[in-house]
Structure 1
Amino acid sequence: MSSQPSQHNLSSEKKDRFSSSGFIFAAIGSAVGLGNMWKFPYITGQYGGAAFFVLFIVCLIAIGLPVLLAELTIGRGGRGNASSSFVKVGGHKIWGGLGMLSVIAAFLIISFYSIVAGWTLNYAVSAFSGKLFDNPDFTAQFNEFMSGNKPIMWQFVVLLLTGLVVIKGVSAGIEKFNKVLIPGLLILLVVLMVRALTLPGAGAGVSFFLNPDWSKLGAESLLVALGHAFFSLSLGMGAMLTYGSYVEKRQSLGAATLAIGGGDLLYAFIAGLIIFPTTFSFGINPAEGPGLVFIALPAAFSAMPFGTLFGGLFFILLAIAALTSTVSLLEVPVAYTMERWRWTRAKSVWIILSLSFLLGIPSALSLGVASNITLGGKGFFDWMDFIASNLLLPLGGLIVTVFAGYFWKGVAEEAGLTAWWFRIWLFMLRFVAPILVLFVFLHTSGVIKF
């Protein structure tokens, strides 16, 4: 296949757009991810339950929504990739270079995020088949799984599924995929929430989650809430900016921003009403992180009626959340390479997936057979996560806020806000969000410690 697509193919790609509802579904799919299922409930319980939830909402408004709207606005205004859109809306070429940080971040993240996504698919298959519950030693099961080559095999499956969606394009691939899976995700969330809330002792978990303890709020909880508000909306990785480039002009970006933030918040809330009642009902420590999901919760499912069914549904839920995120991550470098080197969509998808798979192999091995190989106390997976999540994403978000707040002259027209809302948004972009994003960067990079 020639690396130079025909003019017809190029024009078709340029016309490929989201419908209004398709864009909302895709953006919510990007925001909803694996971390929300076990990280958000845990940090909420750790930092004061409902008190932290209120703080999280405030941070979402102060940092998440302004940066999200800025990314969408730059993307639609530039109609390019996460790098070129900055230049196309009137910025200097240096902004395009800085925008490349988001493209790199998305590429790095999909290389290791797809590994954990593969775990969820493996556990979903094992749960539905009943194999997961044959051996009650779930720690030994997890360790056995991690010590072999199965994580690499399942990572390949995740990347293949992701590629099959993205290769079909924006409207025929990404939009249709999310229009099916996001409603399915909501149905699964509600089914599992009802099951969790009807477990014996579930009330104690709900109380732990929703009763506010204002005494646990402080500087550390504020930084944690800021960081989660930023990361839970997929900011700084170019996904929302890239999706914004496919949005029709008639779409209200302000309304879309609120819908995406609300969807992310609803998912996190229902996740808490699944995790806490279940953990309290079976005497599980909700602070176990990945161990909670792949070791402790399978033990809980094995002890409840119809546990095979609900366990399978739970891991399908996680797999859907993971796949809707990997799709948005892959689209970032695919959009870049298609525009930068005029590759066809198919060529971009398969080359980037191949490179992601190869980069992911040492990450997968560092959690298993090569777990004893570390540098500075971190394995390869941890270093990839640290570089992308803790350094590149906050920097990407900071670039977006500074560019939209100070350097882009046409931001008001593209945002489409009323004069009053635009003044508020611009104030947040110039004087609030950059400072908060900087604090997030200093905290995640380890400069600020508690």
Structure 2
Amino acid sequence: MNFGKSHLEENNLGKGERFSRAGFILAAIGSSVGLGNMWKFPYITGENGGAAFFLLFIVCLLLIGLPVLLAELAIGRSGRGSAATAFIKAGGHKGWLAAGLLQVLTPFIILSFYVIIAGWTLQYAITSFSGSLYSNADFGGQFDSFIGGYMPIVWQFVSVLITGWIVAKGVSNGIEKFNKVLIPAMLVLLIILMIRAITLPGAGAGVSFFLNPDFSQLTTESALVALGHAFFSLSLGMGILVTYGSYVDKNQSLGAATVAVGAGDLIYAFIAGLIIFPTTFSFGIAPDQGPKLIFVALPAAFSAMPLGFLFGGLFFILLAIAALTSAVSLLEVPVKYFMERLSWSRSRAVWVISLAVFIVGLPSALSMGLVPEFNINGTNLFDWMDFMASNIMLPVGGLLVTIFAGYFWKTAAEASGLKSGWFKVWLFMLRYVAPILVLLVLLHTSGIIHF
């Protein structure tokens, strides 16, 4: 395999295959603002005490998230290759190919079940707007019946088609244009829903839960959950930011871009909290109901709300947009790799990989009810794939990034573009803080250590 400059690599930086400055930041925010912010963040915050957990999450974002984010972007821009070869092209030993290949495999695995959830959001948006979602007050039963049937497979296929269509149009004409429209649209929807939520009767208790910290609620377990989510919410360890970094202009400030992406991720999570918690508290719904909070508890709230069908529909459209912006970034990682490795056209790479994503994801979709035999040690395949990718593969990928950038990358100072003082702080975080924290997350999520 030739890791030098190739004709394809130069083409990838040519017209249509390069981000504009604003387009890159919006695309990077789109990759991070996904179901992690809109679905996972609210329920883990509810399970871990509210405001105190949110403050802890911010600290973790600063300590671990931003340093690793900058490292991934810098590796990508320096290497100008796929996630698989960027480490080597940036100056690393060929042994780092294994780390790169992990960052291609991980987003493929995540995408195989991510598009299933994206399909759920599309189904719920339609049934909310039509009002059929609220025809039966047994929302838990509705959800179980839905995911146990065939319709999730139909919506999974639709999600794959939409994602593939966007990525097939290219970096600037597809990914960038998509995010330039939908990231601002998400913000508008968030603000509309936030205003509706905080003006509900009794919403003040939810706002207080989210914004007034009670540090007695925090545990060591909470700290590790916050660390893990800071990592997950920024799309770290899955090759996305390495791949996106390869499309960034050499004159763009990566430090400024890192801060902008981190701030965007935090703002969207903050507003999502101001939607979820006022709504749940207003209707007497406990905020610690886990993953079903969005698909079971919130529909119950929307059903009791004036014009609930409209606000529920807008909420699930918001979730669908968040899911699809992340799905697009996940698909681009293996697409870039196969374009580089096999000299495939973008269209061929997109549709071959999209078909593979759909086929690999089918057992996960079926394991939710239709074929319960699809399980590993009693855990359905959907949950098992989620666990392996989110709790094992992501932390390992992120740990390898910190080790490479902190200890083996000789041109890290030049690639990062940081001034001497900031570079020393960044390098210290990568060498001595981030690896330890990521390792703790890995040991905790894998079940090796308990608190």
TM-score range, shorter chain: over 0.9
Kept after mapping to 2: 8 A contact 1:123/1:132 = yes
Aligned partners of 1:73, 1:289: CA distance in 2, in Å? 36
**Corresponding residue number in structure 2 for 1:182:** 183
- The equivalences for 1:185-264 within 5 A come to 185-264=186-265
Q: The residue matched to 1:294 in structure 2 has which SS?
A: coil
**Corresponding residue number in structure 1 for 2:148:** 147
| 2:379 counterpart of 1:378 | yes
Q: CA deviation at 1:96?
A: 1.4
Counterpart code for 2:188: I
**Corresponding residue number in structure 2 for 1:336:** 337
Aligned partners of 2:218, 2:380: CA distance in 1, in Å? 32
Kept after mapping to 1: 8 A contact 2:366/2:374 = no
| 2:305 counterpart of 1:304 | yes
Cα–Cα, structure 1 residues 315 and 380, in superposed 2: closer, same or farther, change >3 Å?
A: same
Kept after mapping to 2: 8 A contact 1:38/1:289 = no
- The equivalences for 1:97-136 within 5 A come to 97-136=98-137
Kept after mapping to 1: 8 A contact 2:23/2:176 = yes
| 2:29 counterpart of 1:28 | yes
Aligned partners of 2:436, 2:291: CA distance in 1, in Å? 31
Aligned partners of 2:312, 2:217: CA distance in 1, in Å? 33
Kept after mapping to 1: 8 A contact 2:32/2:234 = yes
Kept after mapping to 1: 8 A contact 2:43/2:293 = no
Counterpart code for 1:13: N
| 2:94 counterpart of 1:93 | yes
Aligned partners of 2:213, 2:301: CA distance in 1, in Å? 27
| 2:10 counterpart of 1:14 | no
Aligned partners of 1:137, 1:45: CA distance in 2, in Å? 22
Counterpart code for 1:447: I
- The equivalences for 1:280-359 within 5 A come to 280-359=281-360
**Corresponding residue number in structure 1 for 2:3:** none
Counterpart code for 2:321: I
**Corresponding residue number in structure 2 for 1:3:** none
Counterpart code for 1:429: L
Aligned partners of 2:409, 2:7: CA distance in 1, in Å? 32
Kept after mapping to 2: 8 A contact 1:41/1:209 = no
Per mean C-alpha deviation after superposition, the further-off stretch among 7-16 and 46-55 is 7-16
- For normalisation by structure 2, the TM-score amounts to 0.96
Kept after mapping to 1: 8 A contact 2:38/2:322 = no
Aligned partners of 2:217, 2:193: CA distance in 1, in Å? 29
Counterpart code for 1:362: P
**Corresponding residue number in structure 2 for 1:276:** 277
CA deviations on 1:164-201 (whole Å, 9 max, x unpaired) are 00001100000000000000000000000000001110
- The equivalences for 1:75-94 within 5 A come to 75-94=76-95
Kept after mapping to 1: 8 A contact 2:407/2:431 = yes
Aligned partners of 2:171, 2:50: CA distance in 1, in Å? 39
Aligned partners of 1:370, 1:172: CA distance in 2, in Å? 40
Q: The residue matched to 2:375 in structure 1 has which SS?
A: coil
Counterpart code for 1:329: L
Counterpart code for 1:287: D
Identity over aligned pairs, percent: 68
Structure 2: 5+ residue stretches without partners: 1-5
Q: CA deviation at 1:64?
A: 0.3
Q: CA deviation at 1:289?
A: 2.5
CA deviations on 1:201-234 (whole Å, 9 max, x unpaired) are 0001111111111112232111111111111100
Aligned partners of 2:64, 2:7: CA distance in 1, in Å? 41
Q: CA deviation at 1:446?
A: 1.0
Cα–Cα, structure 1 residues 378 and 435, in superposed 2: closer, same or farther, change >3 Å?
A: same
CA deviations on 1:105-125 (whole Å, 9 max, x unpaired) are 100000001001100001111
Q: CA deviation at 1:373?
A: 4.5
CA deviations on 1:342-392 (whole Å, 9 max, x unpaired) are 111111101111111001110001112123543223111122112211111
**Corresponding residue number in structure 2 for 1:173:** 174
Q: The residue matched to 1:392 in structure 2 has which SS?
A: helix
Q: CA deviation at 1:8?
A: 8.9
Structure 1: 5+ residue stretches without partners: 1-6
CA deviations on 1:67-106 (whole Å, 9 max, x unpaired) are 0000000000000011111110111111012211111110
Kept after mapping to 2: 8 A contact 1:31/1:233 = yes
Aligned partners of 2:56, 2:133: CA distance in 1, in Å? 38
Aligned partners of 1:63, 1:445: CA distance in 2, in Å? 19
Kept after mapping to 2: 8 A contact 1:38/1:275 = no
Kept after mapping to 2: 8 A contact 1:334/1:352 = yes
Q: CA deviation at 1:10?
A: 7.1
Q: The residue matched to 1:261 in structure 2 has which SS?
A: helix
Aligned partners of 1:142, 1:43: CA distance in 2, in Å? 20
RMSD: 1.4
**Corresponding residue number in structure 2 for 1:389:** 390
Counterpart code for 1:414: A
Q: CA deviation at 1:44?
A: 2.4
Kept after mapping to 2: 8 A contact 1:223/1:439 = yes
Counterpart code for 2:346: R
What number of residue pairs does the alignment pair up? 444
Q: CA deviation at 1:397?
A: 0.3
Q: The residue matched to 2:92 in structure 1 has which SS?
A: coil
**Corresponding residue number in structure 2 for 1:431:** 432
Aligned partners of 1:332, 1:182: CA distance in 2, in Å? 20
Cα–Cα, structure 1 residues 433 and 371, in superposed 2: closer, same or farther, change >3 Å?
A: same
Q: CA deviation at 1:140?
A: 2.7
Q: The residue matched to 1:117 in structure 2 has which SS?
A: helix
Kept after mapping to 1: 8 A contact 2:9/2:340 = no
Q: The residue matched to 2:147 in structure 1 has which SS?
A: helix
Aligned partners of 1:123, 1:55: CA distance in 2, in Å? 32
Aligned partners of 1:175, 1:152: CA distance in 2, in Å? 28
